[in-house]
Amino acid sequence: MRNAVFILFFFSSLPLAPLQAQLSAAFQEDDYSFNQGVDLYHESQYAAAMQKFEAVLERNPNTNKAADCAYYIANCAIRLDYMNADQMMEDFVENHPNSPKRNKAYLEVANYYFDQGKYPQSQKWYAKVKGDQLSRTERQQMIFNNSYNAFVAKRYDEAAKGFNQLITHQKYGNDAKYYLGYIAYQQDRYDEAGALFESGNTQRNQNTAYFEADMNFKQGNFEKAITKAQEQLPNSNPKERSQLNKIIGESYFNLEQYDQAIPYLKEYKGLRGKWNNTDYYQLGFAYYHQKDYPKAIAEFNKIIDNHVIVSYADCNGIITDVSKAFCLICGYEKSELIGKSHDVMLDSNETTLINELWKSISLDNQWNGEFKNRKKDGSPFWIDGSIAPYYSFKGERLGYIMVAKDISDRKIVEKLSITDALTNLYNRRFFDEIFQKKLSYAIREKNKFCLFMCDIDNFKNYNDMYGHQMGDKALITISEKLKEYFKRAGDFVFRVGGEEFAAILNIGNSDNIDSFIVKLLENIKDLNIEHKGNPPFGVLTISCGVVVADFAQISKPFSTDEIYKLVDDELYKAKQNGKNRISSFYVS
């Protein structure tokens, strides 16, 4: 009997060893995948990390690891700018009330949005953080960041309350003093502002009156800068007097009051006793605008050959002289230009502008503007020029003089700074800038304002099925279609994140925006780009949200955040109602 029991026990226990081994191997594999996901997350490879965490979560839905996976998945979604990513983080907190990462989740999302410059979103998440559960270092960082959020939003009293807690802090103290000083300046508490700037070592050691003038000048408040500097001039020492004359002179110069600028610009002694090319240029330019050409030429000649683009032409536009700087920028020798028309360098797209230029200067007016030219080798360059007639002592018109500066680098930087590298659409940074300007203009002029937003349906599935290279091609194709469709003067098209696009549209009273967008949807669907992960269509499609606000009928001045939320809600409705469709909202 004992042998029978032993045999039964032996055979009943045989499968346990391999089963335990299989379970152990599975747990080890999940641990390995989870740790891989964490490594990818910290290397900012969020899409790959997200896949790891989702796979582990699918195999372990009811374990302690599930909470950690959900935490990282939500964080990845936020960093990938997924729609409803914020809600995913809220779901993590709600579904895992015992997770030690709940408070950390709020903090990390807030810090991430802060680092991305998305200050309203950052402030929203900081409001959820329980400060008493943070370390001292984390709490101080949160106070500083959240104070800066308030500062950017011009909630200065709220910002000052936080910055004042950090005024003696080793890391944040100087910055806190700077922002407190700026707040004091904005609130006309100049003595306090000056003291804070000096104590924070963020401003030169100058008295408050000079600081007031300097700050006003830097902020573009030129009239106020002149007043403050003139008040201080009689009491200033020689060094301050030189700087104050410079502030007054440049302020008048920027206000185009050149006759007032000249005496102050002349009194400036220069940095360390020497003038630079800008100093000579400003004084010469002021003389030039006063038609005191001999003095203008005398100043320009000090820098003209190598630094100022100048050309002279007769009354028929034939070049009679150019500076070395002119030759350097265009690639021609002086001998190749003299006797030729400026048309030899003119870009073919600038014909209309040049006609306007000639119409202006032929009537003895001065023309100012930017235009594009072509170098000897055919490459483009941009100049910002001022062109005017010049005369003999008898008052006879001798020809025209152009004084210009090379703005090619600025144009390149401007384009790069506002352009999405993949699609060549405008980027999110430029969207934020244009959105504010266009909305403010529409409110002020009581015009219509239209914001369009779309994203590619089930684009994550597309990337997973066809690869990121094909995903990039799809983004480029959609971008080209949007540019082709939205091409009215005043239309702006942007890539605002991931697979999400926006457009600010110039629409009239008779425009039917809904039918216009429906045709866009049809055109994109008709591209027949295979997308098996986008049922029931089987091809690439987009969903769209549109908001139209007629400010001739609206008394409320909507903010950009309010308009953005409205269009985001419409896009969400289009997604929920089946995708490949438009959902619109008319505010009137």
pLDDT class of 220 with cuts at 50, 70, 90: confident
Backbone angles phi, psi at 396, to 5 degrees: -85, 135
- 16 CB contacts (<8 Å, ≥6 apart)? none
**Tens digit of pLDDT for each residue in 531-552?**
999 999 999 999 999 999 999 8
According to DSSP, the residues that pair with 391 across neighbouring strands are: 397
According to DSSP, the residues that pair with 448 across neighbouring strands are: 550
C-beta separation of 353 from 346 below 8 A: no
Output the CA–CA distances (angstroms, integers) from residue 566 to 337, 495, 558, 560, 570, in the order listed.
Answer: 58, 18, 11, 10, 6
What 3-state DSSP class applies to 542?
strand
pTM as predicted = 0.40
In the predicted model, what is the mean pLDDT of residues 259-276?
A: 90
C-beta separation of 77 from 50 below 8 A: yes
What is the rounded distance in angstroms from the CA atom of residue 367 to the CA atom of residue 388?
A: 6
Sign of the C-alpha dihedral computed for residues 155, 157, 159 and 160 taken in this order: positive
Q: Is beta strand 397-406 parallel, antiparallel or unpaired with respect to 309-313?
A: antiparallel
In the predicted model, what is the mean pLDDT of residues 191-206?
A: 61
Name the amino acid, one letter, at 137: T
Output the CA–CA distances (angstroms, integers) from residue 565 to 113, 230, 472, 560, in the order listed.
Answer: 17, 48, 27, 8
In the predicted model, what is the mean pLDDT of residues 149-167?
A: 91
Q: Residues of the chain with pLDDT > 90: what percent?
A: 38
pLDDT beyond 60 at 4: no
Output the CA–CA distances (angstroms, integers) from residue 81 to 48, 275, 460, 549, in the order listed.
Answer: 15, 50, 12, 26
Name the amino acid, one letter, at 279: D
C-beta separation of 522 from 537 below 8 A: no
What 3-state DSSP class applies to 160?
helix
What mean pLDDT, rounded, does the chain reach?
85
Residue 482: predicted pLDDT = 95
In the predicted model, what is the mean pLDDT of residues 419-431?
A: 92
Residue 306: predicted pLDDT = 67
Residue 228: predicted pLDDT = 85
**Tens digit of pLDDT for each residue in 17-37?**
444 444 455 556 777 778 888
What is the rounded distance in angstroms from the CA atom of residue 462 to the CA atom of residue 475?
A: 11
In the predicted model, what is the mean pLDDT of residues 408-436?
A: 88
If we measure between CA atoms, which residue out of 432, 540, 497, 427 comes closest to residue 85? 497
pLDDT class of 200 with cuts at 50, 70, 90: low
Of residues 12 and 259, more confidently modeled: 259
Residue 571: predicted pLDDT = 96
Could you tell me the two tokens for 437? Answer: 């300007």
What is the rounded distance in angstroms from the CA atom of residue 389 to the CA atom of residue 396?
A: 10
pLDDT beyond 50 at 7: no
In the predicted model, what is the mean pLDDT of residues 343-347?
A: 84
Name the amino acid, one letter, at 169: H
Could you tell me the two tokens for 447? Answer: 């015009």
**Tens digit of pLDDT for each residue in 475-533?**
999 999 999 999 887 789 999 999 999 999 988 765 688 999 999 999 999 999 999 99
Of residues 415 and 132, more confidently modeled: 132
Ordered DSSP codes for 227-264: HHHHHHGGG--HHHHHHHHHHHHHHHHHTT-HHHHHHH
Ordered DSSP codes for 72-130: HHHHHHHHTT-TTHHHHHHHHHHH-TT-TTHHHHHHHHHHHHHHTT-HHHHHHHHTT--
pLDDT beyond 50 at 207: no
C-beta separation of 471 from 462 below 8 A: yes
In the predicted model, what is the mean pLDDT of residues 78-99?
A: 79
If we measure between CA atoms, which residue out of 541, 373, 459 comes closest to residue 82? 459
CB atoms within 10 A of CB 475: 21
What is the rounded distance in angstroms from the CA atom of residue 408 to the CA atom of residue 387?
A: 19
What 3-state DSSP class applies to 330?
helix
